[in-house]
Amino acid sequence: MILVDASSGAHSATFSFKNNCSFTIWPASLANSDKGALSQTGFQLDSGASFSLDAPPAWGGRLWARQTCSTDSAGKFSCITGDCGTGQVACNGAGGAPPTTLIEFTLQGYGGKDFYDVSCVDGFNLPVLVVPSGGPNCNSTSCPVNVNVLCPQDFKNNCSFTIWPASLANSDKGALSQTGFQLDSGASFSLDAPPAWGGRLWARQTCSTDSAGKFSCITGDCGTGQVACNGAGGAPPTTLIEFTLQGYGGKDFYDVSCVDGFNLPVLVVPSGGPNCNSTSCLIISDECYPSCDGHKVLTM
Q: Which amino acid is at 76?
A: K
- Give the domain extent around 57: 2-143
**What is the average per-residue pLDDT within 165-187?**
92
Alpha helices, DSSP H, located in the chain: none
Q: Are residues 164 and 137 in the same domain?
A: no
User: CATH number for the domain including 182?
Assistant: 2.60.110
Q: Is residue 127 part of a domain?
A: yes
Q: Are residues 292 and 163 in the same domain?
A: yes
- Other CB atoms within 10 A of residue 66 CB: 27
Q: What pLDDT, in 10s, does the model give residues 230-274?
A: 999 999 889 889 888 888 778 888 888 877 888 888 888 887 666
User: Which of 292, 297, 282 lies closest to 159 in space, CA to CA?
Assistant: 282
The total number of structural domains in the chain stands at 2
Q: Among 34-48, 86-100, 102-116, which stretch is predicted with the lowest mean pLDDT?
A: 102-116
More confident residue, 96 or 279: 96
Q: Are residues 227 and 204 in the same domain?
A: yes
Q: Are residues 119 and 203 in the same domain?
A: no
Residue 166 has pLDDT above 50, yes or no: yes
Q: Is residue 209 part of a domain?
A: yes
pTM: 0.53
**What is the average per-residue pLDDT within 85-91?**
97
Q: Are residues 202 and 115 in the same domain?
A: no
Q: Are residues 12 and 114 in the same domain?
A: yes
CA atoms within 13 A on the CB side of 194: 10
Q: How far apart are CA 164 and CA 157, in angstroms?
A: 10
